[in-house]
Amino acid sequence: MIKAHKITQPAAVSLSKTPTGIKGLDEITGGGLPQGRPTLVCGGTGCGKTLLAMEFLVRGATQFDEPGVFMSFEEKFGELSKNFKSLGFDLNELVNQNRIAIDYVHIEPSEIEEAGEYDLEGLIIRLGYAIDAIGAKRVALDTIEVLFSGLTNENILRSELRRLFRFLKDKGVTAIITGEQGERTFTRFGLEEYVADCVIFLNHTVDHQVATRRLRIVKYRGSAHGTNEYPFLIDQQGFSIMPLSSLGLDHPASTERISTGIARLDAMLDGKGYYRGSSILVTGTAGTGKSSLAAHFVDAACRRGERCLYFAFEESQKQIIRNMRSIGIDLGQWIDQGLLQFQNSRTTIYGLEMHLVVMHRMIEDFKPDIVVVDPISNLVAAASKAEVKSMLSRMIDYLKIKQITAFCTDLTATGGTLDQNSTDISSLMDTWLLLQVLETSGERNRGLYLLKSRGMPHSNQVREFILSDSGAQLRDVYIGSGLVLTGSSRVAQEAHDKALALECQQEIERKQREIERKKTLIEAQIIALRTQFELEKEDLDRLISREQLRVETFAFDNLAMSNLRQADEQIEGLTDQGVPL
């Protein structure tokens, strides 16, 4: 009973949050930073602390109508305004409109002499005045740790900092306090001791000469939050954090089918093509036509009026358009119509996570139906295999949630096992096409296999993949007597087969003619025999009748003769009348 009572607690009052307006951060934090409380943002040099703090204020002022005070301990107003101008924030204007107040606190240790007890009331008064002057709801202190180098009495500082944070809470402002990363602690001077509500850690690592920025929410008192390290990007639009790692596996599954752009390939896939929102992987060695398959797919999609985003890591946009024109596909027209957009970049220009963020943002902006990544194997240049796999799985999860069909090509290293792709991501893919070079009789021909296609019956046969000036075509390869033939040997074999078949046909016809001839012959013989028989029969009949006549004549003659001789005795064999018996 007692236990039960303990468990039943009043419904927790949900923590009110202040939206930051920063892309992705509100998703990870579940709505923003704790309202009316300070948040500590810490990290190493150049990790973007100041930017995060400033963007929080600028977005607050511009998007949420919440004025903010930026207290800078490091940079002067002029420097700040210049730095942020390049990120598209016009601080001067915001300051003139009283939506942002910037107070530069200058501390020069050599100018300051400490003589006795003091407090930081001056700082608090300044801050309080600035907050009241513009009715600020947001405050950023960047970075308050400078105080530790300017003032020597740490005891006073610590108690005063505690007072400062209490003051901020009392004021009800949502604050961001930045702090430099310490060797073992989050901040060099242990600021996390005072700011206990929310701590955000920014990380900037360089791996294989490629830098990646990451953000992690170390703690968020009274709120659930994403706990992973999230990659983020700083560019002309400020901060972008991608909350991809928090995506689950509960994406929708469409039953709509979309054409591959190649009729025979559609036929191999149950006659209908890929599923919308599925992920398609094309692997193959160099020059097997992976990009051509992609181009066909893109072309077909654009014909349906769908939007395509093409991430090319190997070729420039113009090069792709030129090359695809050679197989009869004009991608240029879709670009002109705004249905197709290329994003061409080398994979090594930034880290993998950054690629992910860039792709994420472009997808958010362009809202494509189809995304092509050509090729994903190049991403390995920017990171390790495991990282690529994790990145791609997040990418694919994201695309699936958005119901965007993903078409990825993957270059298999020559000599490697063909179904062993460089990034080991085949398990993530729904449809897997393998393009293989079949090398026979001094020729290299392309073969297309359908290794898998989830959720649909599909052909298990290899097809010859031919690139012609009217596009890619699939042909049946010659399979027979233990041989798989492609290319000219297939053509030769086919001709050979044709000749063989023709020969057979002729033989049959010949035999049939022979039968006819024999039949005719026999029939003729029958007629001849019958004719002969008739003739002989006629002769014999004639002979028979003649003999009979002769017999009759002879009997008559005998009778006549005996009559003449008046013979009284009966002639043997004759009746009384003299006629034979």
Give residues in contact with other proteins (CB under 8 A). Answer: 103, 105-107, 111-123, 125-126, 128-129, 147, 150-151
How many other C-beta atoms lie within 10 A of the C-beta of residue 187? 25
| Cross-strand bridge partners of residue 447 | 436, 464
| Cα dist from 438 to 75, 288, 375, 449, 483, whole Å | 64, 10, 22, 12, 12
Q: Residue written as tokens 């009800």?
A: 172
Helix 317-325 vs helix 290-303: angle between axes, to the nearest 10 degrees? Answer: 90
CB 388, min distance to other proteins, A: 50
CB 147, min distance to other proteins, A: 7
Yes or no: say if 344 and 317 are a contact pair by the CB < 8 Å rule: yes
How many other C-beta atoms lie within 10 A of the C-beta of residue 30? 15
CB 123, min distance to other proteins, A: 4
CB 81, min distance to other proteins, A: 17
Q: Which pair of structure tokens corresponds to residue 389?
A: 């796999």
Q: Which is nearer to other proteins, 100 or 105 (CB)?
A: 105
- Determine the Cα–Cα distance for residues 166 and 284; give it in Å rounded to an integer: 63
Any idea what the Cα angle at residue 297 is, between residues 295 and 302, rounded to 5°? 90
Q: Which is nearer to other proteins, 152 or 319 (CB)?
A: 152
Q: Residue written as tokens 């190493």?
A: 44
The residue type found at 252 is P
- Determine the Cα–Cα distance for residues 234 and 225; give it in Å rounded to an integer: 22
Any idea what the Cα angle at residue 9 is, between residues 8 and 12, rounded to 5°? 140
Q: Which is nearer to other proteins, 113 or 469 (CB)?
A: 113
Yes or no: say if 215 and 232 are a contact pair by the CB < 8 Å rule: yes
Q: Which element (helix H / strand E) includes 343?
A: strand 340-344
Q: Which residues make Cβ contacts (< 8 Å) with residue 83, sequence separation at least 6?
A: 75
> How buried is residue 53: exposed, middle or buried, by Cβ count under 10 Å (0-12/13-18/19+)?
buried
Q: Which pair of structure tokens corresponds to residue 274?
A: 């890929």
Q: Which positions are catalytic?
A: 74, 314
Q: Which is nearer to other proteins, 10 or 116 (CB)?
A: 116
Residue 227's SS3 state is coil
Q: Which element (helix H / strand E) includes 510?
A: helix 487-565
CB 73, min distance to other proteins, A: 10
Q: Which pair of structure tokens corresponds to residue 12?
A: 């927790």
CB 90, min distance to other proteins, A: 22
Q: Which is nearer to other proteins, 129 or 554 (CB)?
A: 129
Q: Which pair of structure tokens corresponds to residue 87?
A: 């990120």
CB 103, min distance to other proteins, A: 6
- Determine the Cα–Cα distance for residues 199 and 16; give it in Å rounded to an integer: 17
Q: Which residues make Cβ contacts (< 8 Å) with residue 526, sequence separation at least 6?
A: none
Q: Which is nearer to other proteins, 126 or 219 (CB)?
A: 126
Yes or no: say if 340 and 334 are a contact pair by the CB < 8 Å rule: yes
Q: Which is nearer to other proteins, 173 or 438 (CB)?
A: 173
Q: Which is nearer to other proteins, 111 or 576 (CB)?
A: 111
Q: Which is nearer to other proteins, 119 or 523 (CB)?
A: 119
Q: Which pair of structure tokens corresponds to residue 334?
A: 């879709």
- Determine the Cα–Cα distance for residues 244 and 242; give it in Å rounded to an integer: 5
Q: Residue written as tokens 């703690």?
A: 219
Yes or no: say if 250 and 34 are a contact pair by the CB < 8 Å rule: no
Q: Which is nearer to other proteins, 67 or 273 (CB)?
A: 67
